[in-house]
Amino acid sequence: MPTVLTDVKDSQLVSVTNIPQDYVTTSYEYNCGGTVVVPRHLPQKEVIDITVKENVDPEDAVIEVSPARSANSATNVHVQTTWKAVEDKMMEKVMNEIKNVEKRLKRQFKKDTQLFVDGALLILMRNVEDMTVRKMMEVARIPETASFGTVVEEFTNNFKCALTKDELQNLKSSSGRSNANAFAHLNPASRESSEYLTRLIEYLSDHGRKEEETRYRHYIDFAFGKTPILRR
């Protein structure tokens, strides 16, 4: 005998008491199915997971498996449910796929922009430090040829300001200039160089800027010695 595993919770049938006298109830039923190949001896629960869960929540259906055991031979799974239950499952799958697409787009956007954001931040931080030091030079009348360390030292020996001791020390030995310079003038042998340039080409390609993509590919190949150079 087939095994009835669950009861139908959801029904589209209209209560007879709620039907106006000028109307009658019309029932409808769809009969559709498919086949799937599963390993022999697959437990009945897993058979149901494969054949039913993709299309309807088992709690919203009456499911009969025949023969009522694991899949030792050809097996039939009969599902009695409502169209609304199938529709709800379909909408659940669609919404999950939309969420997955949104996550992929967010990851791609972050990947597209993060390297450029990091580089822009380095340059902006260097500019802020340069403006701070130039202000010290202006106030203390220090030559522009002096180093950061010298400027901060001479300024703090003669003036007080709102900058804390740690902030002044960080400015004095800041790596901001070297970091910004490293981004603005990439070393072809560095890991960062390969990463930034790969993202540059991917960005141009992803945004349909084909002429620039081709041109900068050629520049990069030349700079990295990937193209022949012949004496005239």
CA 154/CA 117 separation, integer angstroms: 34
Q: pTM for the complete prediction? A: 0.44
State phi, psi for 120 to the nearest 5 degrees: -65, -40
Residue 28 pLDDT exceeds 70:
no
3-4 and 76-80: which strand pairing? Answer: unpaired
Residue 5 pLDDT exceeds 60:
no
Q: How confident is the model at residue 7 (pLDDT cuts 50, 70, 90)?
A: very low
pLDDT digits (tens, 9 = 90+) for 34-91: 777 888 888 877 877 777 777 777 777 777 777 766 777 777 777 777 777 778 888 8
Tell me the angle at which helices 83-140 and 165-172 cross, rounded to the nearest 10 degrees.
80
Tally of CA atoms within 13 A in the half-sphere of 72 that contains its CB:
4
79 contacts 70 by C-beta, under 8 angstroms: no
pLDDT digits (tens, 9 = 90+) for 124-145: 888 888 889 889 999 999 998 8
Mean pLDDT of the chain: 78
In the chain, alpha helices (H): 44-51, 83-140, 148-158, 165-172, 176-184, 191-206, 210-223
